[in-house]
Chain A
Amino acid sequence: MTNDFLNIKHLTLLWAFACATLGFANDMGPLPEPSPCAAHFHYEEGYFDFCDTCGCGSSGGSMGYGTAMNSYFVGLRYIGQQYRSRDGIFNNSPWITENFNTLQAWGNIPVTERIILNAIVPYQFHNRVLPDGTDQEINGLGDISVLAFYNLLKATPDSIVSIKPEHYLQLGGGIKAPTGKYDKANNTGSVNPSFQLGNGSWDYILAMNYGFTHRNWGISTLLNYTFKTKNPKEYQFGNQLNYGINAFKTYYLSDFALTPIVGLAGEKFESNEEYGLKVADTEGNVFLGKLSIEGSYKNYALGLTGVLPISQDLNNGRVELRHRLSVYLNINL
């Protein structure tokens, strides 16, 4: 409870910082009207938010990825997540800190006018210090995911400034391949079963993105569901629901565009299974507050996102998310 409160306080501070930045931007002179063919992209504002396991060890984290509408890009993103998990079953069992680090190559590639292919290739480097003082590190390729999105409703690209809000709606689906190693030993006796490079299973994803922009304002929402299957070690991570909403506003400064984004997101995890039977204390949910700022210049975009939990109940309280942080650099195609 105290933690939640502290986090809200942190969020408020972050928000204040973002506002101050905006204020500064506003002071830089009269803002030009949105340029007619501003091809600006907000990588954090929409698309598919996706975090693999309760510990979010294997892939995205509910960071959001992709761009609004129909932008195409390739880029690199770092995601750092810190969790603490209880080593033991008692109220006074020691906490251990777990750091999940992911470096991703990601991209949105056009296939047809209405179909976008989205791919993520993650490299993971996780570490934790066990109560006996020993370091445990795992690193290597994570689970590669490929999704296809279909633009049911498409905001007109490069359009002249529209008076009416521009809506977009995308439906998609895809797979996550077991390219990351699942090591059963990491799971033995440990409370956080997600200290892994990958799930070890073929997983299937359904995703939906909806949003609209009006002048330089915008709202984006996302909803996706991952069906996870049993891996060869008879372990099955629980299915996962992600949802989120973001609001953003873009400020233009000649060639630069600056977009602060504020968002809320949630993740819900079903129970894991082993040999077809539920594993105790593996379900959970987390509700997150998110602040991010994205700067773009010509074809380049640099973004920074901070995520703090507002409320959470992971693994029956035995795992806690501390924070997530992401930095990305993208080149628009």
Chain B
Amino acid sequence: MKKYSLYTLALSILLFVSCSSDDDGTTEELTGSGEISIKYDNGFNGNDLILNTPNSANENGEVITVTRFNYIVSNFRLVNEEGEEFVYPKDESYFIVSQETEEDNIVLPGIPAGKYTTLKFGIGVDQEKYLQGSEGQGDFLAEAEANNMMWSWQAGYKFLNFEGSFTSESVTEPTDFKIHMGSHGSSLDNYKEVTLELPTSVIVSDEIDSSIHLKIDASKILVSSNNIKLSEKSVIMVDEEKSPQIAVNTTEMFVVDHVHNGESHD
């Protein structure tokens, strides 16, 4: 009997030790600022997006080969656990994600220390920025031109440049498609915003840089809230009906895959 109680004692001590050492779990106070990077990992209907390679047929029976997939992301904001929103400096908050040049990692330095639960960003360039005129765009204008993301200054930015070829039941020969979505000067505003709740908070401080890994599904551009059939119209640029539908669909292609705390991506 004595031996049993000795054993029970040993067991309890073990339990106690193992439990108590878990308890200091939460991190020390977060101070200063750090870097958050956002990886835009481009895919197509669950698969990795590879340019010039046919993807499996979509809901409309269209087999799409993508040759260009570029888009503008902007106006980054992060909401912390207390619900306070940090707005990344607007003038430095415009980026191009390009599958052609493999630019897919957006780096945001100087984020105040904290735990953030929500990521918000825009797709395209908002009217406020556009109305600052060509001088107000800084280097971004040249970058957009270099990445085929401008029609002309008057016509404005292409927020999304999605090109390639497709075949379908009715279109058996590979046929080019072009989807250029933007705001067309200041007359038609297609700038949209995306809000993504993070599955785990992202932490940042002087000691901790972290990253958010987004999974992009480019197939959503055509098939999402709005169903766009390329066999009906394969070049969509200035289109008062379909262009806003594309803008809505584009906001639906972003999903947070995971958060890496204390690790920058790549």
- Give residues in A with beta carbon < 8 Å to B: 88-93, 114, 148, 150, 152, 171, 173, 184, 187-189, 202, 204, 206, 227, 229-230, 233-234, 236, 273-281
Contact = CB atoms under 8 A, between A and B. Distances in A.
A104 to B, nearest CB: 23
B263 A204 contact: no
B83 to A, nearest CB: 18
Contacts of A152: 4, 7
A180 B26 CA distance: 24
Interface of B: 3-4, 7, 10-11, 14-15, 17-19, 21-22, 24-27, 41, 43, 46-48, 199-201, 203, 208, 213, 215, 257-263, 265-266
Nearest to B214: A89
A93 B49 CA distance: 10
A276 B259 contact: no
B14 A206 contact: yes
Contacts of B203: 275, 277
A171 B15 CA distance: 13
B6 to A, nearest CB: 9
A227 B201 CA distance: 24
Contact of B265 (A189, A227, A233, A281): A189
Given A204-B17, A206-B11, A227-B19, A276 B26 contact: yes
A152 B266 CA distance: 54
Given A93-B48, A173-B11, A204 B200 contact: no
B259 to A, nearest CB: 7
Nearest to A114: B3
Contacts of B7: 150, 152, 171
B119 to A, nearest CB: 15
A88 B48 contact: yes
Given A173-B11, A202-B21, A280-B200, 9 more contacts: A89-B41, A90-B43, A90-B46, A230-B22, A275-B261, A277-B200, A277-B201, A279-B200, A279-B261
Nearest to B8: A171
Given A89-B41, A90-B43, A91-B46, A276 B25 contact: yes
A202 B17 CA distance: 11
A89 B266 contact: no
A173 B14 contact: yes
A275 B4 CA distance: 39
B48 A171 contact: no
A92 B47 contact: yes
Contacts of B19: 227
Contacts of B265: 189
Contacts of B47: 90-92
B138 to A, nearest CB: 32
Given A92-B48, A171-B11, A189-B265, A276 B27 contact: yes
A102 to B, nearest CB: 24
Contacts of A274: 260-262
Contacts of A236: 25
A93 to B, nearest CB: 6
B26 A280 contact: no
B259 A275 contact: no
